[in-house]
Structure 1
């Protein structure tokens, strides 16, 4: 079977070359479009339900919101863990799904079950889903600096009403969270003594404010053959508008206004956290969260480009500073790995040239490296794998073994040309030499390809970490095996020509053979001694293996520090500062 494939490839060499060029071009296009990140996404498939219940204690939130939600979410298909957290006025429910569950399918199922539980929640409480992102979606963070001209409230307004909405429109962005500063409010401080004097309950004040902050519509009035829309303008736009809201009337029929019973002013909303910039004081910032499955590097570049465009619309004196940018880590990691891949390829090429002493023959072997890598990227792209440290590391591991088959086939072709050159047709020599060793080499590469199959049985985080490496290593070796029986014999026929130097005339080969022969004769003469020494070395290595220690991941110097302190429960912002 394999011998027939080799012979058919050589006999239809132009067709094989065209197919190779097409696959290489497709691999190049997919390589440029492959999503890039620093490390694989190790997070579980999860959906977050966020619910606000303003002013309620954690126990009340737990009993009335968190418990009904968690008990309902236990029935969601493929949900393996449901966790609920209750805070002052807030509830978080995390639904973690089994590996392989589609995130958007999971979100639709959670929404379906939210409809069932909605009538069991307090009136006015509406649960919402968190962004369609993962634990590694936090890719970019920025801060606003207004100098002495703008305070934290003004900067927060710029962030909430200008930057946030514009950045949400960037492709790949799931959420832009605002952090720090003060959220502007109209605050009505009611005097309880005046309420008592006017006999007005606090609920009536609240209802009056709610009714007065609204536009109302009427019908149409036709005047002079023209239709006019009738509507009442009632949105609150200033402190005076709030002060003049009527609450009721006194005994004499005089309207009771908000300003008669309360003090109205602008103030900050109650906040539970703050942001600090380099220890210099409080600041306002935004956190950009990337959507699940997006290209991290492409999304970050799009966000930075959008910020450059938005700077033109900022008030004079307001500047944007980058607080965290994962693109630096991604580019450093990928550039470092690319550099190592290039170094490996150069070393392999030099070794091949030195031992064969025939540059054109070395080119045939070297060709399998980029071609095999492009074929691996082609499969990676359609499988949905991104380029990261682990996936590219699998390619780096495979480089040395990928070229083995080509080197052996080239060396065997040299032997056949030395023996049959001038006696047989050149292409027939190539076919005979390739058929002699090709099938065995193909199966040897196939065995190496299958060696990583146990890695695919890993589950959870360890599976998500190591499977990209196993996939790319497997794809690279499979590509090398396929190339060894198709394009390699064709290239050998074109490039292995001219004067071929015999192996015994290569000074490096002669030197190594001179060293190798005494060593092999010695170990064959003292067979049992060699075996015993090997066993002793094996037994001695058991002790360091048991005491060397282990960890899930090696230390990764990202180049950024994120300070997230844990404090005692109930600590105030004033104390935290």
Structure 2
């Protein structure tokens, strides 16, 4: 009581402290980063190593396995997975959340440096991001449309120009943007000098391709020759021998004999050409160049995107007048829109809560006293968020929106008790002190019960822990601040509601100088006292005017509301009296409702986390292996054009573009090139996000008509989450793994429950395999490694040197002529030792055959695996897992192969188990707090009955709205455990005080119910209406915030209605020793 009395007597000090907290809170809010969600992706590092000429199996043995064994022992590594491709190994390390990635990089580099990798292998590169992630931004560098808006087609010259501008003008400045990990350019035509060697002519001069490449490299060099001193002057010596033209290159002397010199032009054709294309990008049918930006693994998407956009604005001015950078995808736009939606929902919820207060209190000043707890608590919470390194995301802002309705709970109870004492005749200041002190223990306990449910968060693992941690801290901080406001500022403001003007102490009037001094003192005191009031006067007048207008507008509604509440108040006491007389019936009905509700649980689906609809999706189309890139591009164009004939979806599609080939994928297989794959990307109008399914329904039959095509739909990834269902088949024998994975895939395709069934062991690209006969090669004095290198140089070629034009460098590719690599027979007839007097062909020392080999080998935790993944066509994740386990059992796998169901289902099981334990601990902590408050082991059990009553409403609300149980909904149920007991606490607290005053249990609980009906309904309605905008689920990101709001609204509503009846019944049962014969007479 002394502290509250101190606050009421020091209003200026309390006001200044409040303003300081608000000021720091606003500064903290301006510095918070903006993200969509807390980081749900495990921190990752990827080790990329190249081994020229190596097949996937060789890459696995020579690179992936040694790297996995070396880095698998690093601290905080939770999983190691690798992909062995032709000529490249990607080893990805997943770390536990919270790992310091700077130190992790150092540990990884230390382990790599200690490895003894093959000499032919390139230096391992550590990427601070996962290359399987989508870029955060994509731009198209394209020709500007004509004046009438038509897209100009890009010919060969234009495509070459676009690629050159992308590399010279755009790429390097973009790579310098803070937070950008990589910039990938796709499409267009890339310059290359091609030296096509006639292997037959080369053999006539006993030369090899390696010697040709070495001569070009040696002749194309500017070398520093040191320094020459001549007197006082000093001169640098440089040899200038770089090729200035292709003619100079053609005149390179390869060999000098006594009779003549052999020039490059004698054995090869030198021409300016283009590198083999890895992708064809089309926007509105016209080719363009795509530029994709990847952020660092721990970078903030919104901040990095803002810096990229700023750099793009600068680059637009440097581009040629006929070229423009056109945005294709910006992940930050969706994130900011989703955050704005949460802010709007919180603001709307706050206004609805204030409206409810006004309807109950019918006084603008009293309403403002209670409502002031909302902005002060919210702004003060930003200090906690900033100090803890939190970001503004859907979950943290959702926590604020959840807390908004509860922030006035303590203030309502305090003010209502102050008002009750004031009506009994106490002076306002005394009523404020006594009223606030009297309920201080109850409101503290009720706040602590809500805060206590968040303590078990330290035990929650998986995605649930990451999602819930931000919200737990935000809600706890906001409620703690609201409690402080309720016990300091609220009684202070209430005590000053009718404060009289300050009395300036009288000073004796003396003659002369004394009178002047006294007048000056009065003037100075009045100025100091009146200046702050003068500053606040306009705001006070505006507030009064708004309050008057609001009162006039809402007066009819308030009158109707008061009439309804009066009717409810009159009916409540008879209902309560009847319930106390029929306690068995009341408890039986409540138990029956709970049983019926629990029976609905199997009918409610389960999932890990709701998918986001970002207004963009893509159809990933896979054509038969070996399909050339031009054919893939033509198929994609045909699919894209076919959508133009569907009039109903034309207004829905904002943009559509196609990518044939690997495109912006940093994880693409460099050997197969992905020529047989491509995507049709669809961007929807902002107002048509909900019509995504309609576009997919129109697109699917058109893709299905393409012979041999398989396809699936994906959305841009905002964070790394596995597909809903994944089966990991682990073993060593790739052939056996492929057989069983295909068998499982076929079973899943036959079931209508699964859709978009896919496997990671895709059919290998048709390849010509060369199997050397070591004995025959040794007899000829040939080494198999040298032979393999010569075959590679002839077929694929290698970069011998770089040809400089101005400040640009162009690769010089040396390879065999086209007729030496156009068929299987041409490869068999390659001369493998042209420097010998009697050259032999490849077929003499090796078997050359056509076969399809594995295009990649995947490993998880040092085991070969094949992943079979799928989405659900209908039903929930739990039913899908059950059916999938039956299919695996029917396969009768050998002992050498194991199968585990993974994917989101695995993460879901971990998260659900952790949340169930957290719920049990939360209930226990709530009991501890209440037992400490009431100094009783019995009364907390009475209040705990509100939790199963809340479960009735939560489950019913999910079932009625067609929602599913996911991590977010379970978080809502845990929050409910702390919220719903607050009503029981204030009810039992007053009943106990009345018992101490001499009333029996029945009289006490009836009087407590009558007195606490208004504050209980006020606190419930403010919380429910505060969450209503989130529950409606409009706007971006609604999929995540809606389930929790629905759960809390349903649980709190039903719990409140039943609490007003069931809790009094339970209370009288516990206190039945003092029950009167006729409780009606005591009412």
TM-score, length-scaled by structure 1: 0.90
- Choose which of 265, 268, 276 in structure 1 pairs with 2:274: 268
The yes-or-no answer on 1:228 pairing with 2:235 is yes
Q: d(CA) in 2 for partners of 1:13 and 1:282?
A: 70
Structure 2 vs 1, CA of residues 138 and 455 (structure 1 numbering), >3 Å: closer, same or farther? farther
Structure 2 vs 1, CA of residues 94 and 156 (structure 1 numbering), >3 Å: closer, same or farther? same
- Aligned match of 1:365: 370
Q: d(CA) in 1 for partners of 2:231 and 2:93?
A: 62
Q: d(CA) in 1 for partners of 2:280 and 2:477?
A: 46
SS of the residue aligned with 2:89?
Answer: strand
- C-alpha contact (below 8 Å) 1:334/1:388 kept by paired residues: yes
- C-alpha contact (below 8 Å) 2:46/2:131 kept by paired residues: no
- C-alpha contact (below 8 Å) 1:180/1:274 kept by paired residues: yes
Structure 2 vs 1, CA of residues 135 and 576 (structure 1 numbering), >3 Å: closer, same or farther? closer
Structure 2 vs 1, CA of residues 213 and 377 (structure 1 numbering), >3 Å: closer, same or farther? farther
Query: C-alpha displacement at 1:549, in angstroms?
Result: 0.8
The yes-or-no answer on 1:441 pairing with 2:443 is yes
Q: d(CA) in 1 for partners of 2:132 and 2:394?
A: 18
- Aligned match of 1:501: none
- Aligned match of 1:327: 332
- Choose which of 49, 72, 75 in structure 1 pairs with 2:73: 75
**Alignment root-mean-square deviation, CA:** 2.7
- Aligned match of 1:461: 463
- C-alpha contact (below 8 Å) 2:43/2:298 kept by paired residues: no
Structure 2 vs 1, CA of residues 220 and 553 (structure 1 numbering), >3 Å: closer, same or farther? same
Q: d(CA) in 2 for partners of 1:137 and 1:105?
A: 25
- C-alpha contact (below 8 Å) 1:35/1:296 kept by paired residues: no
The answer to which of 12-21 and 303-312 deviates more is 12-21
- C-alpha contact (below 8 Å) 1:220/1:230 kept by paired residues: yes
SS of the residue aligned with 1:125?
Answer: coil
- C-alpha contact (below 8 Å) 1:45/1:99 kept by paired residues: yes
- Aligned match of 2:489: 487
The answer to which of 82-91 and 478-487 deviates more is 478-487
The answer to which of 402-411 and 102-111 deviates more is 102-111
Q: d(CA) in 1 for partners of 2:65 and 2:242?
A: 38
The yes-or-no answer on 1:520 pairing with 2:576 is yes
- Choose which of 296, 300, 305 in structure 2 pairs with 1:291: 296
- C-alpha contact (below 8 Å) 1:182/1:268 kept by paired residues: yes
- Aligned match of 2:282: 277
Query: C-alpha displacement at 1:168, in angstroms?
Result: 1.9
- Aligned match of 1:536: 592
- Aligned match of 2:254: 247
Structure 2 vs 1, CA of residues 86 and 356 (structure 1 numbering), >3 Å: closer, same or farther? same
Query: C-alpha displacement at 1:245, in angstroms?
Result: 3.3
The yes-or-no answer on 1:548 pairing with 2:554 is no
The yes-or-no answer on 1:209 pairing with 2:211 is no
TM-score, length-scaled by structure 2: 0.49
Aligned residues: 564
Q: Which of structures 1 and 2 has the bigger CA Rg?
A: 2
Flag structure 1 segments of 5+ consecutive residues without an equivalent. 499-503
Deviations 1:281-306 (A, max 9, x none): 54321111223444422322221121
The yes-or-no answer on 1:257 pairing with 2:263 is yes
- C-alpha contact (below 8 Å) 1:131/1:175 kept by paired residues: no
Query: C-alpha displacement at 1:223, in angstroms?
Result: 5.3
SS of the residue aligned with 1:120?
Answer: coil
Q: How does 1:360-399 map to 2 (within 5 A)?
A: 360-399=365-404
Query: C-alpha displacement at 1:489, in angstroms?
Result: 2.8
Structure 2 vs 1, CA of residues 482 and 248 (structure 1 numbering), >3 Å: closer, same or farther? farther
Structure 2 vs 1, CA of residues 385 and 292 (structure 1 numbering), >3 Å: closer, same or farther? farther
Q: d(CA) in 2 for partners of 1:569 and 1:75?
A: 38
Q: d(CA) in 2 for partners of 1:275 and 1:489?
A: 70
- Aligned match of 2:142: 145
- C-alpha contact (below 8 Å) 2:44/2:129 kept by paired residues: no
The yes-or-no answer on 1:196 pairing with 2:203 is yes
Deviations 1:426-471 (A, max 9, x none): 4443222211112320221121012233344222223223332223
Query: C-alpha displacement at 1:572, in angstroms?
Result: 4.7
The answer to which of 305-314 and 286-295 deviates more is 286-295
Structure 2 vs 1, CA of residues 439 and 373 (structure 1 numbering), >3 Å: closer, same or farther? same
Q: d(CA) in 2 for partners of 1:52 and 1:153?
A: 28
- Aligned match of 1:342: 347
Q: d(CA) in 2 for partners of 1:449 and 1:567?
A: 56
Deviations 1:237-257 (A, max 9, x none): 5433432333332333x4433
Q: How does 1:116-135 map to 2 (within 5 A)?
A: 116-117=114-115, 119-132=116-129
Q: d(CA) in 2 for partners of 1:249 and 1:409?
A: 104
